[in-house]
Chain A
Amino acid sequence: MTEAPTQEVLQTVETQFRAELTEAGRDVDALQQLRSAFFGPKGRLTQLLKSVGKLPPEQRREAGQKTNQVKQSLQTALDEVLEATQAEAREKELRRNREDLTLPGRAATHAGGLHPVTRVIHEMTDIFHRIGFEVAGGPEVETDWYNFGALNFPDDHPARDMQDTFFVRPPDGASIEKLVLRTHTSPVQIRAMEAQGAPIRIVAPGRVYRCDSDPTHSPMFHQIEGLWVDEGISLAHLRGVLTSFLNAMFGERGVRIRPSFFPFVEPGVEVDVECVFCDGAGCNVCKETGWMEILGAGMVHPNVLAACKIDAEKYTGFAFGLGIDRVAMLRWAIDDLAHLFRSDVRFLKQI
């Protein structure tokens, strides 16, 4: 049966198609059926197009165009619905078996971490490196000369009482110089100057030992030493370097220097930084002074330069030393020094 694609016929076909399209809804199978029923080899519109050829030649052109228009428009409508339906189905598929991401992540390794003291050492050496210092080191078991003598601590002088010293027993039969566990990182100054001469700029972080154990003292703790010797170095340079270091470490805050005494510097000073807890207003940590005593420093004593065979008239320099453990305690508000050296994972995990 073939009908001619008259206006009415096309109208009817379109009405019928749209009705069936609505009825098919979001059913992919029904939509596919609809496609073959209208556009398949035996579909209604395919048939109508074929029948165009049987029309008288003067009607073919117009009938052909019209039929094609209808076909195009209906096919587009069908494609749109089909596409939307497929997209919906895919979306639904993607959303199946949604995962509970409130469950913890699956860790391939245990949590680990650097010790707070190490973190502070890294931070400090990085800052000093940017200022122009190199890192140096020395032994932890030291001779009396490097730990005291070369640093202008006379024998049998009360200045030695400032540091409770561990003495090392010489091996049986060995006749060697008196040995100590270094009480400060300052011997590295001497070793570095002996090796390198002047000018020199070094920092030396490391472990030091004092024969002292109570809630605020550990027999082993950490210091970082700094030394800058060159022509024309002054106390103002000490102030400049330490101010920029302290600002990098603790943020921009006041820095003051007060006279003090360490045998290996002259003048000797203490350097205070405005309290990091109260910003200078006064609190428990700074004993209401607004300042925290943070490091000892001074201009390298001419006797020390002389001990290292450096011309003390030509060269001057500054040296400083500070305790690392206390900075770590301040940084993470650690209230007990003993935590640092106890290897308790409950503590280490927190940092």
Chain B
Amino acid sequence: MKVSLAWIREILVDLKATPATIAKRLDGIGFEVEAIESQESTLDGVIVGEVRALIPHPDADKLRIATVFDGEAEHTVVCGAPNVKEGQKIAFAPAGLTIPNGMTLERRKIRGVESSGMICSEAELDISDESDGILVTKPRAKPGKALSRVEDLRDTVYELGVTPNRPDVLSHHGIARELAAAFGLAQPKVSARAREAGALASTLAKIEIKDKNRCRKYAGRVIMGVKVGPSPLWVKRRLHRIGVRSISNVVDATNLVLMELGHPLHAFDLDKLDGKKIVVRTAKAGEKIQLLDETERTLVEEDLVIADASKPVALAGVMGGANSEVTDGTTDILLESAWFDPKSVRRTARRHALHTEASHRFERGVDWEMVETALDRCAQMIVELAGGQVRRGRLVEEKSAPKQPVVPIRAARASMLIGREFDKAEVKKSLTSLGLRPVKRPSTTKKKATKKKSKADRYADAMYFAVPSWRLDLNLEEDLIEEVGRIKGYDNVPALMPPGASAVITAAPPPDDEREVRTLLAHRGFFECISLAFDAEKDFTNLGLDLDRAVELENPLGEQTRLMRQSLVPAMLRAARLNQDNLPSVTDLALFEVGRTFVWGTPPGDLPVETTRVGILRRGRRVPQGWSTGDATVDTFDLKATIESVLSAFRVDQTTWHRHEATWLHPRSGSRVEREGRTLGRFGELHPDVAAAYGLDGPSVFVAELDLDAIAQARGGLPRFVPLPRLPPAQRDLSFFLADEVTAGDVVRVIRGAAAETLEDVSLFDVYKGKGVPDGKKSLAVSLTYRAPDRTLTDDEVRASQTAVIDALTKELGADVRTG
């Protein structure tokens, strides 16, 4: 919100502080000063000039050549404005100056005549919207004087951030109230008296409220005989300065009062109101209204409208209708000032995607006491700007006023909560400076009193304050404590560590699963990504995900981000594509992400199921390209090693590895790792069709997705130390041919089943296919380690076990054992 300091000073005449001090104090009491603009400095260099001569331009009909005296020298200025006259005192911007509209003036030829400097309009100087013709200043102004002094344009405009709990400061009067408290000045008063004449307003128009819950009060005044036209310059300037467009004297009057007092007003053309009547009612379904923004809206029964005898003429609290708009021909006005239910206005504004100065205030809540004050002030303003007479009496329909609370505050509680001492006098002074009124402790009924005895006792020492009508945010003791703290400022609050702040650190932090896996993968050569958690429907179909259980947004930013991701893989593939496009020559990539996936349970629970997963992607060389490294590229086993390192870091044991069929995985390598039937992760080479769908060409892509929640739950306990073996092992190697489809896992299982108990370890050290191995077969070599904890094994013992192993391999797996 833009606030003019000159305007504030008119309201709060005792405010003498400098603009900088005021800005600092505004910040200090909770109104963030987002920008400060000094009109004096934006007009720096613009001076009063005197038009000493004016001749037609020889080569252009619409241009004239002025001789402008700047107090010291004369300048030739080519000017196109029709209202330049000899002898005028005008706003002169000399060559070289950058004027507020951003233009830097240079000496240049205009149609063959050199022009130096510029005679400016108000719009060019950003003083008002006025762009028809130049600014003509006072006839007695001395050439060379700063224009800002002559025209009294020395104002400072603050751009303030006002939080949604404070509708009462959405006006100059509201800010003045806050500054009065902050600087210890008396609270400002509003002077609002409409001079009345002629007939009783009640004979000229009628008001009826059909929904008194949503419109608690509607007040109107009738003004007859106005002459609608442009506003005087001071009004245009004032509105322009705070960013409001000047429309006409009548509309400007409503905006001036809105910006001064914070209460929205609306002027209807009385002649356009059917039956000279205002009816506040809910809309009929399908009813239409053309609004002032030139859009037509179809209304629903929920919408509250202002109607005349036959049709809606305004969307209540949001925007007026075109059919009752004040236009040049308007002579009689019905001025509206009302109190609408905040929720009702908010719903209607949101439904129609409208946000206006009026709806902004009504939906936050306006001051009940201001309804009639603002009405009178505005009626008088209209007469001042547009003539006419205010008819006698206000038209008022209302329900009871909303009750303002009486709130207790204990100085001790305030001191405790803020952490610095406040005495009763300080508390009282701070609150009264804000317009709160000290009152007696409200009496409670007997029944309540006994029931709440302990509570009442707590408040034995409390002071009680009545909250003024404009403060809708003060209901609890804490609210008042904040007011005291805010006005006193937080600079004197000490920085204290809470009692026991460090004593609680008695144990190491619980395991941070995410941190552990992230750190491990980063050290293993993967870069961590964080991607937006949204996917498109296409990602689901590409990867064969469960679209029926997808978590969908009602208001996505776009079709590409409509679904919450069910897998980390699509984002990883997009990342691979982006990096492929950025650096087509470098295809080595190792990425991971730790994040949640979202899916509806079957049946859906209250919330979707969120699972923390680890996505891993690799492609390209196994080790970085260098002067002495090979060019071997990664394959599924490199990926598996990475997964094994994660499982081993979490000490997950008893894992089993299985083939896994999935749309996104290559059938030759798609795999799944499980523990006790629960899937811990899926991985393999990316299916070539999926790679193509994401535009990935070049080396194969290997992807894994691990379920970190499942892995963390399977986390093993601390290992126990086993005494180091004192006796030597016996080691035996075996090599044999096997049918291709027999897996290494089968071999290890059979060996472990057949060997003696003293078998300590089996390790597979060679797999070979090709020359010397029959078609459809492969050659495997394993090393078996035997050891007994208490004795040296004899050769016979080991041989017996080996024989059993060979026997089992032959019988169960059809192995053709070659050495043993």
B524 on the interface (CB 8 Å rule)?
Answer: yes
A5 on the interface (CB 8 Å rule)?
Answer: no
Q: At the interface with chain B, which of A35-43, A61-69, A237-245? A: A237-245
The answer to whether A143 touches B590, judged by C-beta atoms less than 8 angstroms apart, is no
Q: At the interface with chain B, which of A11-19, A23-31, A75-83, A168-176? A: A168-176
Partner of A243, one of B495, B515, B527: B495
**Chain B residues positioned under 8 Å from A302 (CB to CB):** 476, 478
Q: At the interface with chain A, which of B82-90, B248-256, B314-322, B415-423? A: B415-423
The answer to whether B532 touches A129, judged by C-beta atoms less than 8 angstroms apart, is no
A122 on the interface (CB 8 Å rule)?
Answer: yes
The answer to whether B590 touches A108, judged by C-beta atoms less than 8 angstroms apart, is no
B525 on the interface (CB 8 Å rule)?
Answer: yes
B552 on the interface (CB 8 Å rule)?
Answer: yes
With known contacts A110-B588, A211-B557, A257-B490, A156–B343 Cβ distance under 8 A: yes
Count of chain A residues with a beta carbon within 8 Å of a chain B beta carbon: 94
The answer to whether A167 touches B555, judged by C-beta atoms less than 8 angstroms apart, is yes
B589 on the interface (CB 8 Å rule)?
Answer: yes
Partner of A114, one of B519, B582, B583: B519
**Chain B residues positioned under 8 Å from A219 (CB to CB):** 532, 534, 557, 561
The answer to whether B505 touches A316, judged by C-beta atoms less than 8 angstroms apart, is no
Mask of A134-173 contacts with B, CB within 8 angstroms, 1/0: 1100011111000000000001111101100011111100
- The distance in angstroms between the C-alpha atoms of A348 and B510, with both chains bound, is 29
Mask of B122-166 contacts with A, CB within 8 angstroms, 1/0: 000000000000000000000000000000000000000001111
Mask of B581-595 contacts with A, CB within 8 angstroms, 1/0: 011000011110101
- The distance in angstroms between the C-alpha atoms of A125 and B502, with both chains bound, is 15
Mask of A226-260 contacts with B, CB within 8 angstroms, 1/0: 00101011111101110110000000000111111
**Chain A residues positioned under 8 Å from B28 (CB to CB):** 258-259
Count of chain B residues with a beta carbon within 8 Å of a chain A beta carbon: 103
Q: At the interface with chain A, which of B619-627, B680-688, B714-722? A: B619-627
A179 on the interface (CB 8 Å rule)?
Answer: yes
The answer to whether B527 touches A345, judged by C-beta atoms less than 8 angstroms apart, is yes
**Chain A residues positioned under 8 Å from B496 (CB to CB):** 234, 236-237, 239-240
**Chain B residues positioned under 8 Å from A176 (CB to CB):** 604, 606
The answer to whether A129 touches B505, judged by C-beta atoms less than 8 angstroms apart, is yes
The answer to whether B419 touches A236, judged by C-beta atoms less than 8 angstroms apart, is yes
- The distance in angstroms between the C-alpha atoms of A237 and B534, with both chains bound, is 39
Q: How far is the CB of A200 from chain B (nearest CB, A)?
A: 11
A96 on the interface (CB 8 Å rule)?
Answer: no
- The distance in angstroms between the C-alpha atoms of A233 and B360, with both chains bound, is 36
With known contacts A140-B610, A235-B417, A267-B485, A348–B529 Cβ distance under 8 A: yes
The answer to whether A109 touches B524, judged by C-beta atoms less than 8 angstroms apart, is yes
Of the candidates A134, A169, A236, A299, the one having the most CB atoms from chain B within 10 angstroms of its own CB is A236
**Chain A residues positioned under 8 Å from B627 (CB to CB):** 103-104
- Within B468-492, the residues touching A (CB, 8 Å) are 476, 478-479, 481-482, 485-486, 490-491
B501 on the interface (CB 8 Å rule)?
Answer: yes
B247 on the interface (CB 8 Å rule)?
Answer: no
B453 on the interface (CB 8 Å rule)?
Answer: no
B512 on the interface (CB 8 Å rule)?
Answer: yes
With known contacts A107-B624, A115-B529, A174-B604, A241–B552 Cβ distance under 8 A: no
- The distance in angstroms between the C-alpha atoms of A154 and B476, with both chains bound, is 16
B448 on the interface (CB 8 Å rule)?
Answer: no
With known contacts A141-B610, A299-B417, A110–B525 Cβ distance under 8 A: yes
- The distance in angstroms between the C-alpha atoms of A170 and B29, with both chains bound, is 43
B286 on the interface (CB 8 Å rule)?
Answer: no
Q: How far is the CB of B226 from chain A (nearest CB, A)?
A: 34
B269 on the interface (CB 8 Å rule)?
Answer: no
A112 on the interface (CB 8 Å rule)?
Answer: yes
A85 on the interface (CB 8 Å rule)?
Answer: no
The answer to whether B30 touches A112, judged by C-beta atoms less than 8 angstroms apart, is no
* Minimum CB distance partner of B166 in chain A: A261
- The distance in angstroms between the C-alpha atoms of A349 and B574, with both chains bound, is 18
The answer to whether B583 touches A346, judged by C-beta atoms less than 8 angstroms apart, is yes
Mask of B443-480 contacts with A, CB within 8 angstroms, 1/0: 00000000000000010000000000000000010110
Partner of B501, one of A131, A162, A243, A270: A131
With known contacts A169-B553, A234-B417, A220–B164 Cβ distance under 8 A: no
The answer to whether B526 touches A135, judged by C-beta atoms less than 8 angstroms apart, is no
**Chain A residues positioned under 8 Å from B531 (CB to CB):** 341, 343
Mask of A98-120 contacts with B, CB within 8 angstroms, 1/0: 00000110111111111101100
A46 on the interface (CB 8 Å rule)?
Answer: no
The answer to whether B607 touches A143, judged by C-beta atoms less than 8 angstroms apart, is yes
The answer to whether B595 touches A112, judged by C-beta atoms less than 8 angstroms apart, is no
Q: How far is the CB of B466 from chain A (nearest CB, A)?
A: 19
B504 on the interface (CB 8 Å rule)?
Answer: yes
Q: How far is the CB of B617 from chain A (nearest CB, A)?
A: 10
B533 on the interface (CB 8 Å rule)?
Answer: yes
**Chain B residues positioned under 8 Å from A218 (CB to CB):** 532
* Minimum CB distance partner of A155 in chain B: B343
B522 on the interface (CB 8 Å rule)?
Answer: yes
* Minimum CB distance partner of A293 in chain B: B32
**Chain B residues positioned under 8 Å from A233 (CB to CB):** 498
- Within B27-74, the residues touching A (CB, 8 Å) are 27-30, 32
B725 on the interface (CB 8 Å rule)?
Answer: no
Given contacts A181-B564, A240-B494, 12 further A-B contacts (CB under 8 A): A110-B525, A110-B526, A141-B598, A168-B551, A176-B604, A181-B553, A236-B420, A256-B490, A259-B486, A316-B417, A345-B591, A346-B582
A-B contact list, 22 entries, CB within 8 Å? A111-B624, A118-B518, A135-B509, A143-B606, A158-B363, A162-B164, A174-B603, A207-B595, A207-B596, A228-B498, A235-B418, A235-B419, A240-B495, A240-B501, A266-B481, A269-B490, A343-B531, A343-B571, A343-B574, A344-B579, A348-B528, A349-B527
Q: Which residues of A pack against B, CB within 8 Å?
A: 103-104, 106-115, 117-118, 122, 125, 129-132, 134-135, 139-143, 155-159, 161-162, 166-171, 174, 176-177, 179, 181, 201, 207, 209, 211, 213, 218-220, 228, 230, 232-237, 239-241, 243-244, 255-261, 263, 266-270, 299, 301-303, 313, 316, 340-346, 348-349
Top 10 nearest A-B pairs (CB, nearest first) are A236-B419, A259-B30, A234-B419, A267-B482, A261-B163, A343-B575, A109-B525, A110-B525, A343-B529, A115-B528
